[in-house]
Structure 1
Amino acid sequence: MEKKIGFIGCGNMGTAMIQGILESGKCPPQEMMISCRTKKTLEEKKAQFGVQISTDNRDVAAFADILFVAVKPQFYAEVLEEIKDLLTEEQILVSIAPGKTLVWFDEVLGRNLKVIRTMPNTPSMVKEGMMGMCAGARVTDEDMALVRDLCSGFSQTEVISEHLMDVVTAVSGSSPAYVFMFIEAMADAAVAGGMPRQQAYKFAAQAVLGSAKMVLETGKHPGELKDMVCSPAGTTIQAVRVLEEKGMRSSVIEAMMKCLDISRNM
């Protein structure tokens, strides 16, 4: 790919994306520039990845053909105001901010540029991410294909309608936190049963990983897969009964709807 890549922001998510792109070989380090406010962090990233660095976001904006803005949502307006006069109609601006719509970008930038909204998630750190993407009016199919190819180094991607971006935030952007809580709870129960904690984490986490893989690879409905585990009068159906009685299903739905509501009002 003969495109220069820029990252404004290199926190956990930005770093995961940078690492995935570089390790996939889709961009050589010398063709990538990153910026953040902390010189120490930049020096560490330069030593780790061999990329170009700057403490000035404007340097990155002027450098990049594809510019990822990987800062916290509350800093987006400030960053865009800082760089907007440097952005060209040929550049592709990639956002990872929940709640910031394509119309919002047009208003802040003062013109209609090539903007792609994305919502990655933290499993991108182990190259098992899931990312929703939607494109502004000026983004071509070729532009979208370029960005999807870049992101394939750390995540699977799905192109969706913009009205579903907040749903993506709830179902994949935030949900790793719910899954981590579930794994922790299962491990706690295993420890209470006498299993060493690190071993309990491994059993619980691998069970979740394998179960997710079964959903993806068999194509079966999750309910059908659940029934395959629940033998008549067996131990599993009794455990499932307790989870239903305690409101696990309704709690997950309520939590996700709360996340969705907050994302829509950011």
Structure 2
Amino acid sequence: MSSEAEGRFHTSAVSSITPGPRRATLCTSDGVRIEAVYEPCSKGVTDTAIVVAHGFTGSADRPAVRRAAGVFAQHAAVVTFSFRGHGRSTGRSTVGDREVLDLAAAVEWARSLGYARVVTVGFSMGGSVVLRHAATHQGSARGRTEAVAAVSAPARWYYRGTPAMRRVHWLVTRRAGRLVGRFGFATRIHPEDWDPVPLSPVEAVPLIAPTPLLIVHGDRDPYFPVDHPRMLAAAGPAQLWLERGMGHAENAADEALLTRIASWLTAARPAA
């Protein structure tokens, strides 16, 4: 690891030959400290690392995230992390805007660990982040990703068409809601509106090619109905999996689906 990388990635004191998880604190390009966890592939040597981006109010240590990481680790190395304002990371959540910088730091850390292929999978808010990251980091040698999977992601911003999303908007936009977020969900939310409004997920999709893209969505998602994944898939080259009976994000993704996603991520290559 270079001296520059060592300045940005502070790894906890764990021997490099230790087979178990390794924790680190990453520094984003705007100075936020992000907690991250690395797990080697449980099946042996691999050239691929899967970076997992959790949903809003999640964290690297939430049971659903750890369950997903455990399944993915059967196929590749895994890096999980907590977005800003979540878990032990510093800063405040911008609900999908500057979180792209958090993901970029995690991707760069995975590369610093020696993995030639780094792929990303995001759930809900994390799904919007992996799409925007892939669109904006195509030309970055260290920050790019070789394949992207977005699970339960929104297609457009400010959606309020379901009761669940109306509750999320109250949580984010009202002072009382942000207090509930802080003390009820351990999520610290930035009080200011986006300025400027970031590139939307559906606007990001056409910029991702030739990187392989997978859109996964449940037909019983209580947050975003199926017009969201269909809009994303129609915006550019992508595979679309509409999962019968599935709800929302990492909590609803069962082991079979997670295994299929991991297999796709490890096998996906740009079209010739």
Bigger strand fraction: 2
State the structure with more CA Rg: 1
TM range (shorter): 0.3 to 0.5
> TM-score w.r.t. structure 1 length?
0.32
Bigger helix fraction: 1
Higher relative contact order (CA 8 A, sep 6+): 2
